[in-house]
């Protein structure tokens, strides 16, 4: 999978792309991430990317021309199908596990990271295929949302997550939360490890984990079990994720 990022803060991505699972995926060549400085696509002396909003009001708006040039240039660099172009914005559809898997299946992506009050609407109209939000809160730029998306996508690339059963058993994959985890030491501030995990009875351990996963989901995220999406899932409806 090849991801390209457009941003005025490319340096934010350095440590992220070199570290942990994402770093290993990039190192192994399973994931290719190219970060482009939007200012390289400006044509004025001051390399400016923002301007005052038509109609007045506070704040600044990112101007369309650098975005048009940048998106079209990085999208055309490779032959084959055009990459899918994603704008990170609170106005987008909320990211979830189903959307991550769908995006992972789209092949190459271009991620547009805006700043300020937003981007000239004509960018969205002409060079954006899909708007994605990582949640209902306001950040200062699309860079952290892009990193969230990159990390989630990297886990869907075959070979990135060490044991493939880890991905299959991930929370949400089965529409429910993960079971609790324990490791050494056996007693922490008086709290013991559930005896079944020390029993060596693997069938009993699997039953306990399934029951605890269901209990955790009921307690913390009942919406995953009885929402309309969950119902669609049991019906095998595509909209159920």
Candidates 72, 99, 87; CA nearest to 130 is 87
Mark the segment that binds ligand 4GX (CB under 6 A) among 37-45, 136-144, 200-208, 214-222.
136-144
Mark the segment that binds ligand 4GX (CB under 6 A) among 10-18, 24-32, 88-96, 174-182.
88-96
Helix, strand, coil % in the chain, rounded to nearest 5: 45, 20, 40
User: Any contact of residue 118 with ligand 4GX (CB under 6 A)?
Assistant: yes
The question of whether 90 is a catalytic residue gets the answer yes
Mark the segment that binds ligand 4GX (CB under 6 A) among 37-45, 77-85, 135-143, 182-190.
135-143
Radius of gyration for the chain, computed over Cα atoms and rounded to the nearest angstrom? 22
Q: Please tell me the distance from the alpha carbon of residue 27 to that of residue 75, in angstroms, as a whole number.
A: 23
Interface pattern 25-64 for ligand 4GX (x via CB under 6 A): ----------------------------------------
Q: Is 109 helix (H, G, I), strand (E, B) or coil?
A: strand
User: Any contact of residue 119 with ligand 4GX (CB under 6 A)?
Assistant: yes
Member of 139, 157, 197, 214 binding ligand 4GX (CB under 6 A): 139
The question of whether 52 is a catalytic residue gets the answer no
Q: Side by side, which strands form the sheet with 2-7?
A: 32-37, 2-7, 109-113, 84-94, 130-133
Candidates 153, 154, 147, 155; CA nearest to 9 is 147
Member of 53, 141, 180, 227 binding ligand 4GX (CB under 6 A): 141
Which residues are annotated as catalytic? Answer: 90, 117, 155, 170
């Amino acid at each position: 999978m090849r991801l390209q990022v457009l941003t005025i803060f490319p340096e934010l991505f350095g440590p992220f792309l070199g570290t942990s699972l994402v770093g290993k995926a990039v190192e192994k060549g399973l994931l290719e991430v190219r970060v482009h400085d939007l200012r390289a696509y400006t044509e004025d002396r001051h390399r400016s990317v923002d301007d005052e909003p038509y109609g007045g009001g506070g704040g600044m708006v990112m101007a369309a021309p650098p975005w048009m040039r940048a998106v079209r240039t990085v999208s055309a660099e490779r032959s084959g199908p055009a990459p899918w172009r994603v704008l990170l914005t609170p106005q987008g559809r909320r990211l979830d596990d189903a959307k991550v898997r769908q995006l992972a299946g789209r092949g190459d992506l271009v991620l547009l990271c805006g700043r300020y009050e937003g981007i000239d609407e004509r960018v969205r109209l002409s060079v954006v295929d899909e708007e994605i939000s990582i949640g209902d809160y306001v950040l200062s730029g699309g860079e952290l949302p892009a990193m969230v998306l990159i990390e989630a996508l990297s886990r869907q690339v075959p070979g990135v997550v060490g044991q493939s059963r880890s991905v299959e058993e991930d929370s949400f994959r089965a529409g429910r939360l993960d079971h609790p985890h324990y490791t050494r030491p056996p007693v922490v501030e008086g709290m013991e490890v559930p005896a079944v995990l020390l029993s060596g009875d693997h069938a009993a351990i699997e039953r306990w984990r399934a029951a605890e996963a269901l209990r955790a989901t009921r307690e913390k995220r009942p919406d995953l079990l009885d929402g309309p999406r969950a119902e669609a899932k049991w019906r095998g409806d595509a909209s159920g994720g």
